[in-house]
Structure 1
Amino acid sequence: MSHPKTPHVVDARYMEPPEPFVATMEMLDTLQPGESMVLQLYREPHPLYKVLRENGHRYATEFLPDGTVEILITR
């Protein structure tokens, strides 16, 4: 999937828990410091936000008109 912000995308909109969390953490493990990824969901992942903060990752959340919650996560 191509994305204008980063080539690293996890489209978890149709995944069942805990798949989105697992896929996000696996993708983060492949990124170099300073690289970013996008996570796409249909709800905000508040438990994930806590894990990201605890591990020193930065993130920004955007709410798209189609109901997608897009989180840009930087390692």
Structure 2
Amino acid sequence: MEQVIDVSALEPPEPLEQILDTLADLAPGDWLKVRHRRDPVPLYPMLRDMGYRWETAHLAPGEIEIVIWPADMPAPGGAEAGGVGQ
């Protein structure tokens, strides 16, 4: 099941903290969709180390969407991890 959070109005480090807290509470089989205003580059190595994959979409200036899912699960909804998310 998809969980959605919007961290676009938060100031650092709150977006990172909220993303990590939400991931810690995900039920098996769930994935996370994050709405952000910037590309959270420091998050990606953390996700890899924690066993997650992700896809980042730049929808418009200041509008980023990141889908994050466990690496042992198929990509949700047709998402395909690209680049750093593999």
Q: What TM-score does the superposition give when structure 2 sets the normalisation length?
A: 0.73
| Poorly superposed stretches of 4+, deviation over 3 Å | none
Q: Secondary structure at the match of 1:46?
A: coil
1:67 to 1:17, Cα distance in 2 relative to 1, 3 A = closer
Unpaired runs of 5+ residues, structure 1, are none
Number of matched residues? Answer: 70
| Aligned equivalents of 1:21, 1:65: Cα separation in 2 | 21
| Aligned equivalents of 2:64, 2:56: Cα separation in 1 | 7
Unpaired runs of 5+ residues, structure 2, are 71-86
Aligned Cα root-mean-square deviation (Å): 1.6
> CA offsets, 1:10-31, max 9 Å, x none?
2011100111011101110111
The residue type paired with residue 73 of structure 1 is I
| Aligned equivalents of 2:15, 2:50: Cα separation in 1 | 17
| Aligned equivalents of 2:56, 2:21: Cα separation in 1 | 20
1:32, distance to aligned residue in structure 2 (A): 2.3
Q: Secondary structure at the match of 1:64?
A: strand
- Larger mean CA deviation between 38-47 and 25-34 belongs to 25-34
Match of 1:65 in 2: 60
| Aligned equivalents of 1:11, 1:73: Cα separation in 2 | 14
